[in-house]
A and B are shown apart, each in its own frame.
Chain A
Amino acid sequence: MSRRLDARGLSCPIPVVLTKKALEESPEENLEVLVDNPTARENVCRLARNLGYNVEIINSGEEFTIKIAR
């Protein structure tokens, strides 16, 4: 089971705040975060790595899917 968080068009820190909340709610569940700007991509990845998660980024044109898993 994985969850998807649509943070497209939201400016930082909101994608980070939403990601943090989602990870706090169910820390063991995989999470996919969809963002559309490089700053949000970098910030969400940094947050997830700092919290000890593995991060994989899938680049699709102007959008990025960030896969966060333990």
Chain B
Amino acid sequence: MEQKRVVIFSGIAVGALAVMLTVLGNPPNQGICVACFIRDIAGGLGLHRAEAVQYIRPEVPGFILGSFIISLLSGEFRARGGSAPLTRFIIGFFVMVGALVFLGCPLRMVLRLAAGDLNAIPAFAGFALGIYYGLFFIKRGYSLGRSYKMSQGNAYLMPAISVFLLLLAALSPSFIFFSAKGPGSMRAPFIASLAAGLIVGMLAQRSRLCMQGGIRDIFLLRDFHLFSGFVSIFFTALVLNLALGNFHPGFANQPIAHSMHLWNFLGMFLAGFGSALLSGCPLRQCILAGEGDTDAAVAFLGMLVGAAFSHNFGLAASTNGVGLNGKVAVIVGIALLTIIAALNVSLDIFQKKGSELPNVQKA
């Protein structure tokens, strides 16, 4: 029961910090958005040249370092990897493509709902159905294989990259891009963003908070444990938005959103499907990367490159909606991840009913 309280408390803190960050200057309904922030970082590094979305957001390295610090203290920091890294890179890439067609990661989807943005409803349906689709393969034996213990030095790479990103954001050398207008120019103060990122990273590590996991466990086990975090983020942000006058229910004129319902649905279907195949939403990948999971770090890099491609090739949506390239990319993504999922269903599960399970030995 103790663990359940940690999940609910973490959800409340994440919801409150997200609204606080918008008050301090982050874009509307985007106090925290892992996908958007990774996209901004890709822009800040010049990996794409969409001028409105370029800023090395301190929140993301904050998530990773928060998880790093708390897992070091709790003894859970451990280098591991080797579970299909290239495949994870590609899945991470398409999770980002899907999220940027909707304009938000699963966490921002909840925050948008809590601000009255009803465009997030079809997205939520798509996300849940995408996870259900992923579970179709998982129940039939889908796995990217085992990860293995690595020498401990490998685990420090992602935290080191995070420190480097923070240095770039703090020192802002001339080769780094900073948006002068658009969402990338809307920023909470560096220290506030970093502090919020660290707190979220620590809490998410302890609670295993995961947007994908919450819905997955309901489908798979009728277990609402992780979903309670999801619900507490929603209600905390809802109450704060109502109090601050930021709750505007409707479809039209929502900040950094569009109303192409089919593509909001399919974009988040792709993100949900990919997150199920990675066993974690974008936030969870950051947390695992901070704990020393180098496979999650590769998925993170896949998301970073996916964000760069999304803006270089016009895949990402804008407030005007989704262009042809974005639509094609979502369909290709769903098809490709379906092939990846099918190819990674272990043949063992095709054994006849009643036969021994793989990995089970009589002792």
Contact = CB atoms under 8 A, between A and B. Distances in A.
A58 interface: no
Interface in B137-156: 138-139, 143-149
Interface string A1-44: 11111111111111011101110010000001000111100100
Interface stretch (B48-56, B219-227, B256-264): B219-227
Contacts of B83: 9, 11
A22 B148 contact: no
Interface string B169-180: 000000000000
A5 B143 CA distance: 16
Given A9-B83, A11-B279, A62 B149 contact: yes
A3 B363 contact: yes
A47 interface: yes
Interface residues of B, number: 32
A13 B148 contact: no
A42 B217 CA distance: 13
B359 interface: yes
Contacts of B354: 25
A50 interface: yes
Interface of A: 1-14, 16-18, 20-22, 25, 32, 36-39, 42, 46-47, 50, 62
Interface of B: 3, 76, 78, 80, 83, 138-139, 143-149, 208, 213, 216-217, 220-221, 223, 225, 279-280, 354, 357-363
